[in-house]
Amino acid sequence: MSHPGSVDIIDFLAFTIYPFLALIIIELISRAIKISSWKKLSVQGVSMIILSVIYVVSPSMIVTQENNVHVEPLWMSILVMLALAVTLFYQARRSKIDPTKAEY
């Protein structure tokens, strides 16, 4: 059982799986409609930023708490998603400049 202000292990796993699902869904859609890799990488970067903002603003709405407890944001997950967004934007820029360098 977790203490007030934290999330349960199931909720933590859900918080971990949501960014992965977002990346996979964007990847599958981009392959289905055959868009260029720099557009796909840019959309993935934007989705990581959006998820980071959601994780800061409304984690208590996502977590299944029995009481009306204030849930602290998962700062490490947020920082990792923002770092991933920066990396995705860098790869998108690299892919747009020279598509032969990026293998995505």
> How far apart (Å, rounded) are the C-alpha atoms in residues 81 and 91?
15
Expressed in angstroms, the distance from the first to the final Cα of the chain is: 42
Q: Cα dist. 61→5, 35, 56, 68, 73 in Å?
A: 13, 34, 11, 10, 11
In a domain, 1, yes or no: no
In a domain, 104, yes or no: no
What is the number of structural domains in the chain? 1
Query: In terms of residue numbers, what domain contains 85?
Result: 9-97
Q: Which alpha helices (H) appear in the chain, and where do they start and end?
A: 9-33, 37-57, 59-62, 75-97
**Which pLDDT tens digits describe the chain residue by residue (104 residues)?**
444 556 667 777 878 898 999 999 999 999 999 998 899 999 999 999 999 998 888 776 666 556 666 667 778 888 999 999 999 999 999 888 887 776 66
8 A C-beta contact, residue 67 and residue 20: no
